């Protein structure tokens, strides 16, 4: 079955530090990959996506590259801010053969804490 593994948290960094959150996946076929962010008391928001191998998703300074050879989708940001403090989820979605869509499979989440 499908699964997503991401690094355990919490991850604590100082403002302007470089961020990497590792994510690896197991899936048949060619899934689409996503990073979602969840701020306290809010629902999940799509941060970025990649739908095929070697695609790079980017948004708000965050980037992640779909690496099929290593089945990875690591999240990176060059200089984090206090406002980036949140829980980050890596997820995948595999299209079913009938043309419909499988539900999202999420990792357990990584709590990121940025200190001033």
Partner 1 sequence: DAGVTQSPTHLIKTRGQQVTLRCSPKSGHDTVSWYQQALGQGPQFIFQYYEEEERQRGNFPDRFSGHQFPNYSSELNVNALLLGDSALYLCASKRWGANYGYTFGSGTRLTVV
CB 92 → partner 1: shortest distance, Å? 11
Check residue 46 for interaction with partner 1 (CB under 8 A). Answer: yes
CA distance 116 to 107: 28
Among positions 47-76, residues that touch partner 1 (CB under 8 A) are 49, 51
By CB atoms closer than 10 A (0-12, 13-18, 19+), residue 56 is exposed
Q: Which residue number, 109 or 114, has a Cβ lying nearer to partner 1? A: 109
Check residue 93 for interaction with partner 1 (CB under 8 A). Answer: yes
Give the residue, chosen from 47, 107, 112, 114, that forms a contact with partner 1 under the rule CB under 8 A.
107
By CB atoms closer than 10 A (0-12, 13-18, 19+), residue 76 is middle
Check residue 35 for interaction with partner 1 (CB under 8 A). Answer: no
CA distance 47 to 19: 15
State the residues that interact with partner 1 by CB under 8 A: 4, 32, 34, 36, 41-46, 49, 51, 89, 91, 93, 95-96, 99-109
């Amino acid at each position: 079955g499908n699964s997503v593994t991401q690094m355990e948290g919490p991850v604590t960094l100082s403002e302007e530090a470089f961020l990497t959150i590792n994510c690896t996946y197991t899936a048949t076929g060619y899934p689409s990959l996503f990073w979602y962010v969840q701020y306290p008391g809010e629902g999940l928001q799509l941060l970025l996506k990649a739908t095929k191998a070697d695609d790079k998703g980017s948004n708000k300074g965050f980037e992640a590259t779909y690496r099929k050879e290593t089945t990875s989708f690591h999240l990176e940001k060059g200089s984090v801010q206090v406002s980036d403090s949140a829980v980050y989820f890596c997820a995948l979605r595999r299209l079913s053969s009938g043309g419909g869509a499988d539900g999202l499979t999420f990792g357990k989440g990584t709590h990121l804490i940025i200190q001033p």
